[in-house]
A and B are shown apart, each in its own frame.
Chain A
């Protein structure tokens, strides 16, 4: 009786025990196994009429829900409540949870339901089967929050916060933390509202003082509420963000830094890119040294090379004196353009065209070669194909220009990495005619030259495209 989730698992394990009879060896659970067996086995313990009617009723409710027939589902729901009296203790314990899920879903979508109906239902459900009290309270509060009833939600959460039942299990603790955190978030909303009001007031005004007083007390309460949860591994973006904002406002920079560093670098936490983004923006606000910013972005680069902050990272690296940073700047740009979602990012192409030229002028041919070697067999088909040339030219001429410039540098005859490529493709092109499907190389050959022609033709346009 310690934990609800345990009870949720229990029927499954029973089925598991029933299953190994068949030499499956995989330990996989088949929800449809039962039905298959029932078509054959007539012996054994038959499901009672009561169980049959409730499961049939469940099926009807599910069907009605999936057909958006809320009224019908609500009617069936009245009958389904008999499951609370099931003689099977397992089913009886699961029942409140199922009723809550179905009922809340129906009430959420039912055209005639109101917040009051939902409140009544939730309050009743909280007290049927004590194990669900916290969970239902939290969901109820979220519902109220969603309907803009912040005060009601806050009251609900405060009630749930003080609720205890039996020994405090770990899942109960997490839920209480979560409830407290949501409460903290609500307090943060009022605080930030006050803050905006305050910013509109005059500092000498009497009202200013009292308002700042209330703000102070709010922040103190909130910090208690928020900091417990964000120690637990998880994704807590909204909580961390608001907590840090409040800490920052009251000048607790060290505290904010600690929270963010912990959130980003604790190994028990999932590698959440937002944690690094938050840390970076905090450091940036704090005017931290560039080295520090670079180290944060470098980790973000390793996790998400396609992040939009990467262009900023590139700019920072570009300005750096260090050779390795300037080399990394090139890698970052190539990295961004590797991704399918970034192929039409004109800024990235612009940066690449400019930076490639700069790099080649600075006689760092090896850097380009290093990046190009792993991409030479797929970038032409991915970025510089005839199809894209045509489409880009049609849709976005500026983009086409930038791409043409890059292609010219990478594939063209003018610079050496491209020259070797060209020679290779030249050999390909001289081969006997390939079958029509072989667009990969043949097309690319043609397109490569098209792109390089394009780039030379477009030399005049170059200035127009570049800022």
Chain B
């Protein structure tokens, strides 16, 4: 095998990651990799134009991927979000918002919703204090409560369903008895567990590594244009589907027949396929099981062996060299070589990470160019391990450290062996390492020094990568990289023989599923949001294939979402990427929108996910029976009763009340009108007259209604302030258009606290001993509304005391840079 020579220059520095004084020699621009050092005899530069022909550009057929298969019959729920887990209050003095898990709310919700679970075990604890038989207690002990009575008291009421349930003295005693236990044990025991669970959920929300590697696979069929998609579906992703698909260069792929399926016992996390020596194999990883199938020539899967992984499996890889050989990693830190004939053989075991020596629940392994040597990776590094050598020894291939000039907090998310069985166009010794920031290419013959580093800038975790064969002989090989949130990047890797691997041309981003939203018919907002959520579901699988064709190569790209939807996108290689490539614009074809419409129709028929918990329902009919003998007196109880009997909401209309007086108050003719009035005047060129009127009105006797005016006066102060500025700055009637938005901004409905003080209710929240002080203080201030001249001055004074932000907002009309900066620099 050729080794690239000369290698691109790079500095080698050992040390921890984030080391400060490493000059970033493998610069991260993509064009940097296009720069190769000229040969000793510099070629005569013909026209000085850089070589650009190498970069490949793929044209999109449609602006976004299209659904390939109808949606599954099971509903899908996006699960917990950050909103469910985090404390919603803000911190005042913090540069950046922090993530604080909201244990209190979760605990109270849990106790409220699942009181039975939370408190039932406590009954066991308190058993000696209960007497189960109903006879009169002969015990002198006051600490024993008869359960029968208690239950009778509780009657049909559910104490956690109805906070106003009648409290008998027995219940009172029970609560006194149970109080210490209930308050301390529940909170401490449950709180701890709950916090642990919340932290776990939050971690999973930040990085869900269970689907690392991807759960969608393309198994090529007998002809290159046909094959099978293998993917999990069903509500729990526990059914493995085999869908035959035929590809044609001119049209969308055709789905052939219904899918075959295999029901598994756990959710499918990873599906790997490889064709080794003409035999297609399929390996599946679930949480605690792994399975191996062989796919026959006709496409029928035949199970070979199943494996139980007690601690949980984190990764599975199929050997590209020997048929039926796999490597499985478990959460315990063990890596095993697995062949159906010989069974498992542990080749590596270390519960700690390679570099930091901290616990490592995630481990990954893959093959190398040597069939007996494996790579073992965790979050901090990748090691090359010889399966025939003594256990535990090996060389570090990649280290999250200064060697690769890693940033602080940078961790490995995915490692993949890129040497498929076609060594043309790329060295068969390359490994891909992805972190949350960058992508590295490492050659196993040159450990620790990445041959390529590129900052991918994906806004989510890149957990899926697929290297494809070259679309044309001699072309660079496309590498697809997918972020968990659906972002897709297409890069091209070149470099064979004596040249080092490099990025060929600038990378290209491909549309994600949510880009297809415009192809779907518009729905009512609720369903639209639902559809949007569904399209935004995390990507858990990626498969691509380039069937050989006579004309321009076509890349068929499939992705699988966590909701079980398989989407498809076709990309066509642009024939001649000239010096000025026309920006390809694709638009939705009628067929595409029709397809989306059909899919959506099927989706809308899927019943929505049942809520995890529903509030306990009261048997109101029983209560209704109790009340029956009473004579209906009046319209309100009557309405109440009918509403209860029908089990629907009680609306004001049912009570026959005309609640006109309690309608939400209509907007008072306040600042808005004043503003529009003024604008109207300004447009007509009569702003000066308007101002005069306004002056006259405000200097008149104070006869404004008090409460609603409190807010309006502030904004009118500001607006009049700016109105006055208008006058002085631009006496000519037509105001420049850029002043209008400034004015509009000037009347936000905020009430600075200083204004509260000028009104009557200010005294309410103030301790009585301080009221006098405040009153004196207020008396010193010239109250607003005395005169237009005084109106602007005091408000700015008072607000400078307590309402600095609003003053700033008011003082800077149209945000010119120099004006904005000054006050800040003064601080």
Contacts and interface: CB of A to CB of B under 8 A. Distances in A.
A26 B358 contact: yes
B521 interface: no
A234 B449 CA distance: 9
Interface in B167-215: 199, 202-203, 205-207
Candidate in A42, A105, A108, A271 with the most chain B CB atoms within 10 angstroms: A108
Contacts of A26: 358, 379, 411
Interface string B445-471: 111110000000101110000000000
Contacts, number: 339
B323 A270 contact: no
B86 interface: yes
Interface in A342-395: 342, 374, 378, 381-382, 385, 387-388
Interface in A232-290: 232-239, 241-242, 268-274, 277
Contact of A147 (B7, B45, B489): B45
Interface string B23-64: 111011111101111101111110011101000010000000
Contacts of A16: 408-409
A42 B90 contact: yes
Nearest first, the 3 A-B pairs at minimum CB distance are A43-B90, A148-B45, A29-B409
A36 B205 contact: yes
B6 A238 contact: yes
Contact of A12 (B97, B369, B409): B409
Interface of A: 3, 5-6, 8-9, 12-16, 18-19, 21-45, 49, 62-63, 65-69, 85, 87, 101, 104-105, 108-109, 111, 115, 135, 139, 142-143, 145-150, 169-171, 174-175, 178, 181, 185, 188-189, 192-193, 196, 232-239, 241-242, 268-274, 277, 303-304, 306-308, 338-342, 374, 378, 381-382, 385, 387-388, 435-441
A22 B99 contact: yes
Interface stretch (B14-22, B219-227, B255-263, B748-756): B14-22
B94 A22 contact: no
A148 B42 contact: yes
A45 B20 CA distance: 28
A438 B581 contact: no
Contact of B1 (A22, A44, A308): A308
Interface string B346-360: 000000000000100
A44 B91 CA distance: 5
Nearest to A188: B40
B12 A234 contact: yes
A435 to B, nearest CB: 7
Interface stretch (B107-115, B422-430, B668-676): B422-430
A271 B29 contact: no
Interface stretch (B120-128, B130-138, B503-511): B503-511
Contacts of B12: 233-235, 268-270
Contact of B379 (A19, A28, A171): A28
A192 B507 contact: no
Contacts of A271: 446-447
A192 B41 contact: yes
Nearest to A42: B90
A42 B94 CA distance: 12
Given A5-B24, A338-B372, A437-B324, A45 B96 contact: yes
Contacts of B1: 306-308, 339, 341-342
A181 B10 CA distance: 12
B580 A111 contact: yes
Interface string B788-827: 0000000000000000000000000001010001001000
Q: Chain A binding site: helix, strand, loop or mixed by DSSP?
A: helix
Nearest to A274: B5
Given A40-B82, A62-B457, A277 B96 contact: no
Contacts of B372: 338, 378
Nearest to A115: B48
B436 A31 contact: yes
A9 B99 contact: no
Contacts of A307: 1, 3, 445
B22 A171 contact: yes
Contacts of B90: 41-44
B94 A44 contact: yes
Contacts of B13: 233
B321 interface: yes
Contacts of A308: 1-3
Given A31-B437, A85-B817, A139-B32, A147 B48 contact: yes
Given A22-B199, A143-B35, A39 B445 contact: no
Contacts of A435: 304
A32 B30 CA distance: 23
B306 interface: no
B3 A437 contact: no
B322 A67 contact: no
A145 B206 contact: no
A41 B90 CA distance: 6
Given A67-B508, A440-B339, A381 B99 contact: no
A31 B411 CA distance: 12
Given A16-B408, A274-B3, A338-B372, 15 more contacts: A21-B100, A27-B409, A28-B436, A33-B206, A41-B87, A67-B508, A108-B29, A234-B25, A273-B445, A307-B445, A341-B423, A378-B322, A378-B371, A387-B277, A437-B304
B340 interface: yes
A37 B97 CA distance: 7
A22 B457 CA distance: 24
B95 A45 contact: yes
The residue in B13, B96, B100 that gathers the most chain A C-beta atoms within 10 A of its C-beta is B96
Say what secondary structure dominates the interface of chain B.
loop
A148 B407 contact: no
Nearest to A387: B277
A440 B341 contact: yes
B586 to A, nearest CB: 12
Contact of B89 (A5, A43, A87): A43
A193 to B, nearest CB: 6
Contact of B6 (A21, A174, A241): A241
Nearest to A29: B409
Contact of B31 (A21, A108, A150): A108
B410 interface: yes
A3 B408 contact: no
B89 A34 contact: no
B48 A30 contact: no
Interface in B313-342: 320-324, 339-341
A192 B40 contact: yes
B369 to A, nearest CB: 5
Contacts of B449: 235, 270, 272
A234 B11 contact: yes
Contacts of A29: 407-411, 436
Contacts of A441: 341
A340 B9 contact: no
Interface in B693-751: none
Contact of B369 (A28, A33, A339): A339
B459 A31 contact: yes
Contacts of B207: 28, 30
B13 to A, nearest CB: 7
A6 B203 CA distance: 29
A34 to B, nearest CB: 7
A3 to B, nearest CB: 6
- Residue among A41, A135, A381 facing the most chain B CB atoms (10 A cut-off): A41
Contact of B22 (A5, A104, A146, A341): A5
Nearest to B323: A439
Contact of B21 (A6, A67, A437): A6
B21 A171 contact: yes
A440 B97 CA distance: 58
Contacts of B375: none
5 contacts: A29-B410, A45-B97, A67-B508, A237-B5, A340-B428
Contacts of A339: 1, 369-370
A235 B580 contact: no
A340 B320 contact: yes
